[in-house]
């Protein structure tokens, strides 16, 4: 129900609100023909799911990649979208909050659901529940989350300190389900243990269908710069036959294209750069298709997208929780960066408690700061 309502609402927004339908066909419904510089890259497959050259995926992010945000990014050109990560133990115990994360709809396919855990039995059981209830196109194992409440308990990136257990879990899940199983992980635990080249071979031998690699160690968290050289080393390893998906610090269309060309990855995954900026997939797809940067839209176009996110978040949850949920996007969006003396307005937006209050602040921004359309 939610999928159909949101899809219809967003389609009307695109067609009637911000972009005329004639322009929509050019700017949203992208051609999949490739420029000359792109034709050296073949299509890739994960199981039976086929992608054209240069696929760009939405990364799994807790409290970010809910169904509404996934649908939005899909409509802007994401080739595949991932759910928030779901705790295997919670699924086995049938915790409602976790079961709710399994909701998917046809409009967002192909879609991956990501789970995490630290014991083979419960993770395999959770994988079966995911397939039975949601039937995603891909089931992804989280061996990369660096946050303390996950990695500190031995799950997520914590598994990089127990490779035998990681491989045991992976084999158990591959054997438990009949859909493609993939893994997302990091370069290693720390600078002295960057094990990804050997680990990638071991995970492939377990039967996974693709591997996503974030170019940092767990010790780095999100500090410093992502190191793509080891991602490239995995991709260029002649033993590797599965698709390799690179992730980390891809914040623009130009960087995305460079990552494809410099490291030969089969796909690129966008995470934090999409928060408050779901249109980044549109920008990237246009650039990869044409070789040209997409012209900027009027300020109100981007503002209306953020407002639509607010509305769908409130519709999915309720006014209080929906506004709390969307604050991360409002805080992270690049739309307001560079506006002089914007700090107090930003604080007011993040303190607003009702949709009316929030929209009054947002609607007043162009006039208050003299932003011309």
* Catalytic positions: 145
Handedness of CA 169, 175, 179, 182 (dihedral sign): positive
Q: What is the sign of the dihedral through the CA atoms of 33, 39, 43 and 44? A: negative
Show the 3-state SS of the chain: CHHHHHHHHHHHHHHHHHCCHHHHHHHCCCCCCCCHHHCCCCCEEECCEEECCCCEEECCCCCCCCHHHHHHHHHCCCCEEEEEEEEHHHHHCCCHHHHHCCCCCHHHCCEEEEEECCCHHHHHHHHHHHHHHHCCCEEEEEECCCCHHHHCCCCHHHHHHCHHHHHHHHHHHHHHCCCCEEEEEECCCCCCCCCHHHHHHHHHHCCCCEEEEECCCCCCCCCCCCCCHHHHHHHCCCCCCCCEEEECCCCCHHHHHHHHHHHCCCEEEECHHHCCCCCHHHHHHHHHHHCCCCCCCCHHHHHHHHHHHHHHHHHHCCHHHHHHHHHHHHHHCHHHCCCCCCHHHHHHHHHCCCHHHHHHHHHHHHHHCCCCC
Largest pairwise CA distance in the chain = 60
Q: How many CB atoms lie within 10 A of CB 270?
A: 23
Two tokens, residue 98: 């976790």
Q: Is 33 exposed, middle or buried (0-12, 13-18, 19+ CB in 10 A)?
A: exposed
State how beta strands 44-46 and 49-51 pair. antiparallel
């Amino acid at each position: 129900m939610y999928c159909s309502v949101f899809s219809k609402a967003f389609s009307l927004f695109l067609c009637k609100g911000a972009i005329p339908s004639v322009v929509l066909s050019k700017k949203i419904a992208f051609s999949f023909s490739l420029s000359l510089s792109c034709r050296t890259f073949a299509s890739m497959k994960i199981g039976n799911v086929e992608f054209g050259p240069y696929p760009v995926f939405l990364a799994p992010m807790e409290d970010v990649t809910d169904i509404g945000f996934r649908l939005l990014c899909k409509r802007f050109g994401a080739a595949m979208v991932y759910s928030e990560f779901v705790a295997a133990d919670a699924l086995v115990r049938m915790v409602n909050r976790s079961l709710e994360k399994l909701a998917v709809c046809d409009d967002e396919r192909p879609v991956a659901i990501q789970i995490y855990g630290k014991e083979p039995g419960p993770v395999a059981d959770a994988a079966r529940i995911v397939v039975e209830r949601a039937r995603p196109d891909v089931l992804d194992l989280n061996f990369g989350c660096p946050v303390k409440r996950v990695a500190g308990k031995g799950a997520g990136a914590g598994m990089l300190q127990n490779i035998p257990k990681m491989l045991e879990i992976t084999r158990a899940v591959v054997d438990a389900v009949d859909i493609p199983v993939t893994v997302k992980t990091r370069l290693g635990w720390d600078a002295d243990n960057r094990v990804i080249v050997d680990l990638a071979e071991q995970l492939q031998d377990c039967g996974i269908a693709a591997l996503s690699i974030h170019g940092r160690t767990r010790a780095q968290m999100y500090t410093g710069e992502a190191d793509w050289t080891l991602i490239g080393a995995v991709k260029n390893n002649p033993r590797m036959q599965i698709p390799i998906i690179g992730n980390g610090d891809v914040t623009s269309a130009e960087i995305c294209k460079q990552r494809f060309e410099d490291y030969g990855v089969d796909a690129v995954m966008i995470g934090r750069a999409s928060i408050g900026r779901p249109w980044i997939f549109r920008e990237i797809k246009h650039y990869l298709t044409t070789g040209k940067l997409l012209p900027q839209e009027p300020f109100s176009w981007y503002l209306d997208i953020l407002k639509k996110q607010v509305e769908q978040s409130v519709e999915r949850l309720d006014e209080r929780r929906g506004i709390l949920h969307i604050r991360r996007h409002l805080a992270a969006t690049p739309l307001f960066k560079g506006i002089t003396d914007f700090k107090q307005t930003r604080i007011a937006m993040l303190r607003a408690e009702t949709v009316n209050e929030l929209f009054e602040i947002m609607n007043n921004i162009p006039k208050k700061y003299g932003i011309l359309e």
